[in-house]
Chain A
Amino acid sequence: MSEQEQRNRDALERNGGPTIRRIVVALDATAQSAILLEAAALLAQHLGVELTGIFVEDSNLLRLGELSFVQETGSYAPARRPLQAAQLERQLRSQAAALQRAIRNTAERYQIPWTFQVLRGPIADELRKAAAETDLFIVGRSRQSRQGRVPLGTTTRAVVITAPRFTLVLHQQPVWQQPVVVVYDGSAAAERALTLATQLTQAEDVPLMVVLVGEEAAMAQELRQTVATWLHQRGLRAHYQWLSRANIARLVNVVVAAQSGALVLPGKDLAAQETALLALLDELQCPVLLVQ
């Protein structure tokens, strides 16, 4: 175990916060998977944990092969051709094999332990189940990667709403040289978020910005005092920003203005705030780490 890893473990235990022992990354055949894999491997290396890649063979696709009247249309050469179950199976196996090679190569490069799982079923359900069984789940914003602003895909939406612990949503390589922004409202989830954010900043040696959410200035000051004391005890410092209300637009502005490398967002019950959360994820292009 490296010195860095030991420091992370110690920090976790000292803080009494949640311990991340395993990272699961959801992979598919898009180019975005390579970015996810790099980000996940880097985190796993810094946190000294195992990396697991999962690939879901969509049961819907497998059923298609049984329907004799279904035909496939090529995206680039728009000719129609019959869809065969065997062909589909072969293509999915091929994709899985390619992803396994990719995670093996990446893990060897980062010198981290790794596993790879192929699941079969409805994609959203399988990803939700996988997310529930891990400490940190990493998922892409969308199955389709394009230049410019990337909207949140339907599968990802379903996953993030029900994500049980920590879920990192990203579509591009995190820029760890830029500050990590954490939202703190004094809740238990916020404590966990703060703990995780300090882990990230220590691991990546980047500045920390704490966005204090409190309706009154006095309350914000109190929160700040709490956080500052907590950080001081651990030899850490941070910049502070006050938001009177956890308004999505204002939070987005703060994150964008700080040129944040990542946002750590706590939520008591993310499913209850579905609309606001999805709007936030739609607006922000930087990686977002959801903490429940």
Chain B
Amino acid sequence: MEAAKELTAEALYQEATFDDLDFQTTTDLEVLPSVIGQPRAVEAVQFSIGIAEEGYNVFVLGPTGVGRHALVKQSFCDKAATEAPPADWVYVNNFEETYKPHALRLPPGRGRTLQHDMEQLVDEIQTALSTAFESEEYQARRQEAQQEFQEQQESGFENLQERAREKNLALLRTPSGLVFAPVRDGEVLAAQEVQALSEDVRKTMEADIEKLQEDLQKILQQMPRLQRQMQERIRELNREIASFAVGGLIEDLRTKYNELEEIVHYLATVQQDVIENVQNFFAQEGEGQAGPQNGQSPATRGGRNENPLLRRYRVNVLVDHSDADGAPVIYEDNPTQQNLVGRTEYVAQMGALLTDFNLIKPGALHRANGGYLILDAVKVLQQPFAWESLKRALRAQQLRIESPGQMYNLISTVSLEPEPIPLQVKVALIGDAVLYYLLSAHDPEFAELFKVAADFAEQMDRTPASQQQYARLIAQLVRDHDLPAFDRSAVARIIEHSARLVGDAHKLTTQVSTVSDLLREASYWANNGNGNGASEQKRTVTAADVQQAIDARIFRADRLRERVQESMVRETILIDTEGETVGQINGLSVIQLGSFAFGRPSRITARIRMGSGDVVDIERKVDLSGPLHAKGVLILTGFLGERYGTEQPLSLSASLVFEQSYGGVDGDSASSAELYALLSAIAQVPIKQSLAVTGSVNQRGQVQAIGGANEKIEGFFDLCQTRGLTGKQGVLIPAANVKHLMLRQDVVDAVAAGQFHIYAVETIDQGIELLTGRPAGERDEEGTYPEGSINALVEARLASLAEKRSSFNAPAPQDTAKDEAA
């Protein structure tokens, strides 16, 4: 059996080198796009952009900070710049069904033009109508119609009055009507005077009155008809005048928009409506102006904005691409349902909520129509109705503005049903992987609408080429954030820290945001921190500044680590770092606090007694361990059984415990340590407390890789260093973890000086030899372990326990006799 390798300082840290990249500072470097190491995601996004088929929208999955937004936005913008701006969309009044506004499509930039043209048209129509209706011609014709009516009315009355006068009667007005009465010298006859008249005269008078009253009734009954006729004549006159006044103006616009059939049709409806509702142009308070209906004209007293009745001729520009150079790329930061698909606003008027097509507001889908839309998946899903509305729009490929209140009949007020707008948009949803897989599993429509997944990796390979790329990425970030230049050593230190962040000497993190933060912080320490005042001339950032930024970040986060260390030093938490003890070992665990992780040594002890071969995990018994830890402990039983229990029953019961652990443990990274403690307890051989162990073990006794190797080593190192390095202390790690090592410089230095040791262990036998100083022992040809070896001691102890247990279980002599007699 080969002994465990002790690692040299060179194996503990992989420095970054740039053999083929000649630069002094980041200023000398050619920049790179802000996303690297994501070939799969890049290709997926490009594929989604390229394919025009329905449903090939892209879901960009990955952790935050890896450049998802940047990649998608850059890719979309690059493509959008090569495309023509899409059409403008406007909403205009539907003169037949006001609650169903029409959507009109115009070439880019012409929506605003149409809006302006219509505003000008309304102004011009106002002027033209005012001029026309104030003209002498119109006034003369209108007065003629009124005069005719008046004359008809008066002639009837005058005729009646004349006839009455001839018969000494007069038509008088009472508070509530008209009466005929006998008069003399302008005064009504008194009753006595009437009585004094002869019978014949009285009867004749009464008959005359009766006849005149009948005629009066006929005249009065004709009045409404005459009035209607007059009004109809005036209306017809108004139509004629209005038609003439506005015809030319609208014809000019019709010519301007000749190639746009929809607009030409709209203008025709406008013309018809203006003629039919010409009074709208005069419907303002005021006096002294002539007008077709009410003698008022708005022309001299204010503009279109003051007349709400003229809102019907406005153009509501929903989407304007007048300044666009290409297709739109929209990122909606607050994707509520209304911000996505648009909304209809209301104004309160006399206690009621009113709306019209001018209050239709666009959503992000409107603005992105014909281009690209970027959304955060979790935000969409958090907003009520937003996800459903987005899916509905993409499925139907049209934009229909509907409020949740309308959809669920929650409100009963005047509302609109705007004509839907055709939708052609490429949507990128950005979210984490869990969300993607949840949606895939639970929403059948999701897979139909988001057929492309752009999967972002959290790390990338660390090769000489990729390190050079990384250096250029750093240069790009330095420029993006307007930071001072970073020198070669600083760039190298950042790359090394990047490897440390992913816990792998041969990988680099793709978390661009984390790297950006480090750049900013290093720049701060280089120029503003350490009591330096901010100056115009920025100092170049060096590796020392980067290291200071890293150290400062750790210091800000490591209060708890310090407390734990202090507790160990003060022996509140009992961890030995020297001496030897049976059944006791230093395990290593990692505590993660937000983005900061640190290693914590834990004392693991094992005790055995006679039993039926089970290993009791005390943590498990009290629900302080997770399933992975329980699994690791059960594997120990498997190992013991396989190695020592093939010829005899395992007749022991063992108990394992993480001493002074009150928060629960999980993971199997301590299983090798537990096995070492168990073997020590069985063999009654002490374990060196100057060593700590990490690594999981399988049933065959192979030590397997674990996570957080760097933090664990540093955790034990810190404790030993605080107590004083003896030159005997060290850590046993799985050999498979060597490639992950990116240790702190002080650890590397201690190893180089022989003050601390790190061993790469492949098997339990290698480990137990290091921990006990005794050979593990291999079976010889007869199947026995060498005397004095750990395995021999373990096997002997187990045999002893089995024998004792067997003797306990053997039947008593008198019982045997009874059996035989039976």
A and B held together in a complex: yes
- B-contacting residues of A (Cβ < 8 Å)? 29, 59-61, 63-64, 66-67, 69-76, 78-81, 83, 88, 91-92, 94-95, 122, 143, 147-148
Within the assembled complex, what's the spacing in Å between the Cα atoms of A228 and B361?
A: 68
Is the C-beta of B209 less than 8 angstroms from some C-beta in chain A?
A: yes
* Residues of B118-175 contacting chain A, CB below 8 A: 143, 146, 172-175
Question: Within 8 Å CB of A69, what residues of B?
Answer: 206, 209
Indicate if the CB atoms of B177 and A75 lie closer than 8 Å: yes
- Min C-beta distance of B170 to chain A, whole Å: 8
B186 cross-chain contacts in A, Cβ below 8 A = 122
Chain A residue with minimal CB distance to B170?
Answer: A60
Q: Given the known A-B contacts A63-B190, A66-B190, A78-B220, are A73 and B181 also in contact in the complex, defined by CB atoms under 8 Å?
A: no
A74/B181 in contact, CB under 8 A: no
Q: CA separation between A148 and B750, bound complex, in Å?
A: 111
Interface membership of B97, Cβ < 8 A? no
Among B174, B187, B194, the one with the most A-chain Cβ atoms within 10 Å of its Cβ is B174
Say whether A88 contacts B209, CB under 8 Å. no
Contacting residues, chain B, for A122 (C-beta < 8 A): 186-187
The answer to whether A64 and B174 have CB atoms under 8 Å apart is yes
- B177-A60 in contact (CB<8A): no
Min CB gap A118→B, angstroms: 14
B180 at the interface (CB under 8 A from A): yes
Q: Which of A59, A78, A80, A83 makes the CB contact (< 8 A) with B174?
A: A83
B224's closest neighbor in chain A, by CB? A76
Within 8 A of A (CB), among B741-796: none
| Chain A residue contacts of B189, Cβ below 8 A | 63, 67
Q: Known contacts A69-B206, A71-B213; decide if A64 and B221 are in contact (CB<8 Å).
A: no
* Known contacts A64-B172, A88-B174; A73/B295 CB under 8 A: no
Interface centre among A63, A66, A75 (most CB of B within 10 A): A63
Answer whether residue B179 sits at the interface, using C-beta atoms and an 8 A cutoff: yes
**CB of B188 within 8 A of chain A?**
yes
- CB contacts under 8 Å to A, within B214-260, are 216-217, 220-221
A88 in contact with B175 (CB, 8 Å): yes
Q: Does B178 contact A (CB under 8 A)?
A: yes
Tell me, yes or no, whether B176 is within 8 Å of chain A by CB: yes
* Complex Cα gap A257–B606 (Å): 121
B176 touches A78 (CB 8 A): no
The 5 A-B pairs at the shortest CB distance, nearest first, are namely A78-B220, A66-B191, A91-B175, A72-B177, A60-B188
Contact mask for chain B residues 559-580; partner A; CB cutoff 8 A; 1 contact, 0 none:
0000000000000000000000
Residue of B nearest to A81 (CB): B177
Partner of A67, one of B174, B175, B194, B217: B194
Q: Which residues of the other chain, A, contact B180 by a CB distance below 8 angstroms? A: 70
Interface of chain B, main secondary structure: mixed
25 residue pairs from A and B, CB less than 8 Å apart: A59-B187, A59-B188, A60-B183, A61-B172, A61-B174, A61-B188, A64-B172, A64-B179, A66-B190, A66-B191, A67-B188, A67-B191, A70-B180, A70-B181, A71-B179, A71-B209, A72-B176, A73-B179, A73-B220, A75-B178, A75-B220, A88-B175, A91-B175, A122-B186, A148-B146
Complex CA distance for A122 and B187, rounded to whole angstroms: 8
From residue A73, how far is it (CB to closest CB) to chain B in Å?
Answer: 5
CB-CB under 8 A from A71, the residues of chain B are 179, 209, 213
Distance A236 CA – B143 CA, assembled complex (angstroms)? 42
17 additional A-B residue pairs with CB within 8 Å, beyond A67-B188, A72-B174 = A29-B175, A61-B172, A61-B174, A64-B179, A64-B188, A67-B182, A70-B180, A70-B181, A71-B179, A72-B176, A73-B213, A74-B177, A76-B220, A78-B221, A94-B175, A122-B186, A147-B295
**Chain B residues in the interface with A (C-beta under 8 A):** 143, 146, 172-183, 186-191, 194, 206, 209, 213, 216-217, 220-221, 295
Q: B207's closest neighbor in chain A, by CB?
A: A69
Name the A residues within 8 Å of B172 (CB-CB): 60-61, 64
Residues from chain A with a CB closer than 8 A to the CB of B216 are 73, 78
Question: A70 near B295 (CB under 8 angstroms)?
Answer: no
Residues in chain B near residue A147, CB distance under 8 A: 295
* CB of B799, distance to nearest CB on chain A (Å): 122
Residue of B nearest to A72 (CB): B177
What chain A residues lie within 8 Å of B179 (beta carbons)?
A: 64, 70-73, 83
| Residues in chain B near residue A59, CB distance under 8 A | 187-188
**Residue numbers in B under 8 Å from A81 (CB-CB):** 177
Nearest Cβ distance between residue B225 and chain A, in whole angstroms? 12
Task: Kindly identify which residue among B181, B206, B213 contacts A80, using a CB–CB cutoff of 8 Å.
Answer: B213
Q: Chain A's nearest CB lies how many Å from the CB of B286?
A: 14
In the bound assembly, the distance between CA atoms of A63 and B191 in angstroms comes to: 7
User: For B176, what are the chain A residues with a Cβ–Cβ distance below 8 Å?
Assistant: 72, 74, 91
The reply to whether A95 and B177 form a contact with Cβ atoms under 8 Å apart is no
Name A92's closest neighbour in chain B (CB-CB): B175
By a CB distance below 8 angstroms, the chain B residues around A78 are 216-217, 220-221
Residues of B within 8 A of A143 (CB): 173
- CB-defined contacts of B187 to chain A, threshold 8 Å: 59-60, 63, 122
What is the bound-complex CA distance between A260 and B179, given in angstroms?
40
- Among residues of B, the one whose C-beta sits closest to the C-beta of A79 is B217
Name the B residues within 8 Å of A80 (CB-CB).
213, 217
Q: Which residues of B contact A94 (CB under 8 A)?
A: 175
Shortest CB distance B291–A (Å): 12
Query: Which residues on the B side are within 8 Å of A75 (C-beta)?
Result: 177-178, 220
Interchain nearest-CB distance for B157 vs A (Å): 11
Chain B residues with CB under 8 A of A67: 181-182, 188-189, 191, 194
Q: Roughly how many angstroms separate A291 CA and B299 CA in the complex, as a whole number?
A: 40
Complex partner residue of B181 from A60, A92, A95, A148, CB under 8 angstroms: A60
Contacts of B181 on A, CB cut-off 8 Å? 60, 63-64, 67, 70
Return B183 CB to nearest CB of chain A, in Å.
8
Closest chain A residue, CB of each to CB of B205: A69
- Cα–Cα, bound, A192→B174 (Å): 40
Q: Give the shortest distance, in Å, between A120 (CB) and chain B (any CB).
A: 14
Among residues of A, the one whose C-beta sits closest to the C-beta of B288 is A175
Once the chains are docked, how many angstroms separate the CA of A59 from the CA of B187? 9
Q: Is the CB of A70 within 8 A of B209?
A: yes
Min CB gap A35→B, angstroms: 12
Residues of B within 8 A of A76 (CB): 220
B178 contact set on A, CB distance < 8 A: 72-73, 75
**A147–B143 CA distance with the chains assembled, in angstroms:** 11
Q: Write the chain B residue with the least CB distance to A94.
A: B175
CA distance A264 to B589 in the complex (A): 111
Task: Give bound CA distance, A273 to B438, whole Å.
Answer: 104
Return chain A residues, CB-CB under 8 Å to B194. 67
Closest Cβ of chain B to A116, distance in Å, is 18
Q: Let me know if B177 and A73 touch, CB within 8 A.
A: yes
Q: How far is the CA of A81 from the CA of B206 in the complex (A)?
A: 15
Question: Across the two chains, which residue of chain A brings its CB closest to B219?
Answer: A78
Q: Which residue of A lies closest to B209 (CB)?
A: A69
Question: How far, in angstroms, from A60 to B146 measured CA to CA in the complex?
Answer: 33
Contacts of A66 in B (CB 8 A): 190-191
Residues on B with C-beta less than 8 A from A72 are: 174, 176-179
Bound CA span A64–B206, Å: 14
Chain A residues contacting B174 (CB-CB under 8 Å) are 61, 64, 72, 83, 88, 91
Among residues of B, the one whose C-beta sits closest to the C-beta of A85 is B191
CA distance A91 to B295 in the complex (A): 34
Q: How far apart are A127's CB and chain B's nearest CB, in angstroms?
A: 14
A292 to B48, CA, bound (A): 99
A173 nearest in chain B by CB position:
B287
Q: Within 8 Å CB of B146, what residues of A?
A: 148
For B186, the closest partner residue in chain A by CB is A122
The winner among B176, B190, B216, B295 for most chain A CB atoms within 10 A is: B176
A60 CA to B188 CA, complexed, in Å: 5
Q: What is the CB-to-nearest-CB distance from B192 to chain A, in angstroms, rounded to a whole number?
A: 9
Cα A72 to Cα B179 with chains together (Å): 5
A266 to chain B, nearest CB (A): 29
CA distance A123 to B469 in the complex (A): 110
Distance to closest chain A CB from B146 (angstroms): 7
Enumerate chain A residues within 8 angstroms of B177, measured Cβ to Cβ.
72-75, 81
CA of A83 to CA of B213, assembled, Å: 13
- Taking the closest CB of chain A, its distance from the CB of B285, in whole angstroms, is 15
